[in-house]
A and B are shown apart, each in its own frame.
Chain A
């Protein structure tokens, strides 16, 4: 990779095996800084496994990768300072209030205590949770909890935000405002790496990688991918491409 200096994420021949099962089969791709990047694929394609390797939750079997300029094998700790992560399952403390959750993660990320007050207000405003700051999180609707999770992932102002199926189980209206927010973040220079299987979300990404059964099936901007797969069908959209590519392997 000759322009790796401007890449937020870069992987080469990244592989993950669970016993004899190959979850991710030697994939290579790069994500530019400030880009909204989508990793698409059906359930079980290896999306979550990839994102979890990049965030240092699980160790890759082989290959090479850099996140925020740090090696994923040798410098996982440096990576953790630079990234924010939100999983598809709500994984903050449901028995604590939004305020307590935010405060806890401010401490865990070692945000200077002078900045706490300002950050807490910023997150509560951003996630529109000011009115429920002292309510138990369990009692909040899923969409609200998701906003809190996103807020906590941004507390330490990460360079790269990893979102693993961020809008599963969220209504379309919340989903749209969620994407508006993602775009504002990208405009501020945050790299957003998102996995999804919703095509309307994929259209929001500047660049996509489609994977199926652990292998890359297509790569490029949404329009590039459509043009490549269906050169003679200008009316085709991303869903057609997705179904075409994913079905081909299943045969």
Chain B
């Protein structure tokens, strides 16, 4: 293996990459747009739930219930109506996210010591959000109940009762941004390394320049290294920039070791660069390579746990996710970012990613060499 050849290949690759003006937005703007979009827009937090209310009771108790809702920062009562029908209408038109119906006999029942039904309507067309909103509402109602009981029986009633003191570790405010932003770093690395490697080889095929390389003593492994080293350097540089940006701009905590992330990214790149090489052997044009790349990216993205939890996938799909390198990289990057854990916890992920990466990369290299000969 000749380092001189590899050095000149890498040099050539950088010259071409930065000379082509079309590449600049891909390399500079795209990462930041993605980071900002995911950081600001994509959020599964339950905030600012608009509530519509029909209060047919109009008593002290019903007002107390409404106050309890309003006092909670999650809820905001935006509609008061007198007719239950009207309330259905505003829910249908998505003017409110949640509707609450307080019946005429509400306070009467409470005063008598009976249970008083309150109807809660949620927009179930967004199932995940609906269940979260209902859960939050139940919490508020729970508090209200507690208060009513305390008022009625003026003594402490919490003997022998479980008092749950809940603390959320690693992300105390359950900020979904803290969950998503580290994941975006992983996604960015995946997309860029896949796309850039396959493109770099296909470009030579399309232009016919690969033929001139084949008649030289250049070995396939040197060509492969010359085509992957530049993109390792670029993706690692981008990762450092993007992480720094995420820490400064989004005040994301980086609790663990930064160098562990770099090491993990290197193992992750084994898989993505391998797939990039593979794509270059099955595509003839850059368009084909682009389409094939997205064909790979989508399942990786969907079945990684980036947005959709793996635990809620069907069992067979859950097994399949073990073949997805992104799955492991996400666990590592979130673990290092939010929990500050190191090798002592993450070694299974590191090993899985290494084994997967080596298999993918070596078989891609073999296929690539066969194609070139």
Contacts and interface: CB of A to CB of B under 8 A. Distances in A.
Interface string B286-310: 0000000000000000000000000
A111 to B, nearest CB: 9
Interface stretch (B70-78, B148-156, B209-217, B327-335): B209-217
A81 B212 contact: no
B85 interface: no
Interface stretch (B8-16, B90-98, B116-124, B263-271): B8-16
A110 B4 CA distance: 7
Given A110-B2, A110-B4, A93 B214 contact: no
B4 A55 contact: no
A91 interface: yes
B5 interface: yes
Interface string B215-244: 111110000000000000000000000000
B5 A108 contact: yes
Contacts of B8: 103-104, 106-108
Contact of A91 (B19, B20, B207): B207
Interface stretch (A8-16, A25-33, A82-90, A237-245): A82-90
Contacts, number: 70
B163 interface: no
Interface residues of B, number: 25
A236 interface: no
Interface stretch (A94-102, A121-129, A214-222, A224-232): A94-102
Given A89-B208, A100-B12, A107 B4 contact: yes
A59 interface: yes
A56 interface: yes
Contacts of A92: 209, 212
Contacts of A247: none
A80 B217 contact: yes
A109 interface: yes
Contact of A80 (B15, B208, B211, B216): B216
Contacts of B16: 93, 95-96
Contacts of B15: 96, 100
Given A104-B12, A107-B4, A95 B20 contact: yes
A200 interface: no
A96 B203 CA distance: 14
B142 interface: no
Contact of B215 (A56, A96, A103): A56
A94 B212 CA distance: 13
A100 B15 CA distance: 9
B307 to A, nearest CB: 38
B105 to A, nearest CB: 81
A80 B213 CA distance: 10
Contacts of B20: 95
B23 to A, nearest CB: 11
Contact of B19 (A87, A95, A106, A108): A95
B373 interface: yes
A105 B15 CA distance: 14
B217 A57 contact: no
A166 B207 CA distance: 18
A100 B217 CA distance: 19
A108 B213 contact: yes
A180 interface: no
A57 B20 CA distance: 29
Contacts of A105: 216
A139 interface: no
Contacts of B217: 77, 80-81, 108-110
A80 B19 CA distance: 30
Nearest to A101: B12
B373 A59 contact: yes
A162 to B, nearest CB: 8
Given A59-B373, A92-B209, A107 B7 contact: yes
Nearest to B215: A85
Nearest to B20: A95
Contacts of A55: 215
Contacts of B19: 95-96
Contacts of B4: 107, 110, 113
B208 A91 contact: yes
A110 B5 contact: yes
Interface in B1-46: 2, 4-5, 7-9, 11-12, 15-16, 19-20
A93 to B, nearest CB: 6
A241 B211 CA distance: 33
* Residue of B2, B216, B373 contacting most chain A CB atoms (<10 Å): B216
Contacts of B209: 91-93
Interface of B: 2, 4-5, 7-9, 11-12, 15-16, 19-20, 207-209, 211-219, 373
17 contacts: A59-B373, A80-B216, A80-B217, A92-B209, A93-B12, A93-B207, A96-B19, A100-B12, A104-B9, A104-B11, A107-B8, A107-B9, A107-B11, A108-B5, A108-B9, A108-B216, A110-B5
Given A103-B8, A104-B9, A107-B4, 13 more contacts: A59-B373, A77-B217, A77-B219, A81-B217, A83-B215, A87-B211, A93-B207, A96-B12, A96-B16, A107-B7, A108-B213, A108-B217, A113-B4
Nearest first, the 6 closest Cβ-Cβ pairs linking A and B are A107-B8, A85-B215, A91-B212, A80-B217, A91-B208, A55-B215
